[in-house]
Amino acid sequence: MKKTLLATAIAGALGVSAAAQAATVYDQDGTQVDVYGRLIMGLTTGGTDTTNAAGDTVRQSGSDFEDFNSRFGLRARHQVNTDLSVFANAEFRFNAAERQRDGEVINSNRSTFVGVNSQQFGRVQVGNFNSMYYNAVTAVFDVPENLGWESIGGVDNSSHGRSIAYSTPVLEGFQAHLQAKHYTGNDQIVGVEGVGADIDSGSTTSLQAAINYTWQDLYLAVAYDQNRDFGVRPGGGETGNSGENIWGAVAQYQFTPAFSARLGYETTSTDDAQYEATIPAGATANIDSQYLGQDITSVGATFDYGMGEIYGQYSRISYDAADISSANRWMLGANYRFSQPMYVFAEVYDADFDTDARISDINDDVLYTLGVRYDF
C-alpha cells in the first residue's frame, strides 16, 4: 500500500515510477499509453518556525490547508521486438489545495524522459527524472505523506534535468545503476563571484552510482553521489551542491506479509572553506548551509493491519560542526483505506526532541497532519 513494501522498493530501484492505479488509455500496434496521478491534500498545525534570508523569524507553525505534491502524468511504451522496447514519460505537478489562475495550473515539470529497455542489455533513459541514488537507497524511507523523511541525497539531488542513466538487467538478484547530470555554463557571467570563492562558470558533470540486491524478503542497496558543486547557474541566485561526496546504504526486510522494518545510513563531509564563508556576521553557525557535513542514521517500520497501515521512523542527525547540536527526529503515522484508490491518513512529526523528555511532552515543534489521498 505504501513505499515501505519491498516490492515497491525494488520497483524504485529499477527506476520505474510508482503508479499502481494507472489506466491504459491507448493500446494499439504495440504502443501502450497510460495515464496516472494522485490528489493529496490535508490540514496541518504546529511545526517549527523558520528564518528567512534577512534573518527574520517566519511563522510556519500555524494551521494551514496544504497540497502535498499532487500530480498527473502520461507514460508511453512501444514493444519493438521480444527483447527491446522504447518508452517515454511526462509528469506534471500542481497545487490541488487552492484555485490557480490561467497560466498557473501546472506549476512544475516533474519527470519527463525517454529511453530504451532491453531484457538482455539493460535500460537507458535521458531527460528529467528521480536520481538513481534516491531510487536505490533513500526511497525506502520516503514513507510519510508530509514531513518525516530525512535524507542528504534527495529525489532531485544531482538529477532532475539534463541527466542520463543506465541500469543493468537483474543478475542473480543484483542490479547496478549509473547516472550523470550535466550542468551547463551557457549564459552565465564569466568570473562571477560565488559563495566564498570564485565559482567556475564552465560546464560540469556530476556522477552517481548504485547497486541493489534482492533475495526473497531482503532488500539491500548502497549508493554514491559525487554531488559536484555547480555554483551560480544561468538566471542567478541558484546555488549548487556542497561539492563533497554523499554515501548511503539501506536494508529492508519483510518479516511477515504484514510487517517490514528498515535501516539506513547516509554521510557527507564539510567543505570547510565554503562553510565558514556562509556563516552570517556575528553568528556562531549556519545550520542550513549546503556545505555542512552530516551523518544520518535512520530506522523505521510499517505494519499492515488489513484496512490500512501504521508506520513510523526515527532519524539521528549528527552535524559535522562542534557548535551545532545533533538532531533527533521522529514521525508516526497511520492510514485507513476506504477503497483501493483512496485513503485518509494522520501523521505527527517532531523535527527535534530531547531524548530525556517523554514523547507526551507536546510542544510547538510538533507538526500534526490530517489528510486524504486518491491515486488514479
Residue whose C-alpha cell is 532519524: 315
123 vs 26, which has greater pLDDT? Answer: 123
Beta carbons of 335 and 317 less than 8 angstroms apart: no
Answer whether residue 13 shows pLDDT above 50.
no
> Distance (Å, rounded) from C-alpha 313 to C-alpha 7?
19
Q: What is the mean pLDDT of residues 363-373?
A: 85
> Distance (Å, rounded) from C-alpha 268 to C-alpha 246?
5
What pLDDT sits at residue 326? 83
What pLDDT sits at residue 160? 87
Beta carbons of 127 and 143 less than 8 angstroms apart: no
Grid cell digits, residue 370: 490530517
> Distance (Å, rounded) from C-alpha 95 to C-alpha 17?
20
The mean of the pLDDT values for the chain is 83
> Distance (Å, rounded) from C-alpha 39 to C-alpha 148?
20
Question: pLDDT for 160-219, tens place per residue?
Answer: 889 999 999 999 999 999 999 998 777 665 655 544 444 555 678 999 999 999 999 999
- Predicted TM-score (pTM) of the model is 0.86
Closest CA to 152 of 333, 353, 315: 315
pLDDT category at 320 given cuts 50, 70, 90 is confident
Q: What is the DSSP letter of 221?
A: E
pLDDT category at 255 given cuts 50, 70, 90 is very high
pLDDT category at 245 given cuts 50, 70, 90 is very high
Q: Is 349 exposed, middle or buried (0-12, 13-18, 19+ CB in 10 A)?
A: buried
Phi and psi torsions of 273, nearest 5°: -65, -45
Percent of the residues in the chain that have a pLDDT greater than 90, as a whole number: 55
> Distance (Å, rounded) from C-alpha 111 to C-alpha 37?
12
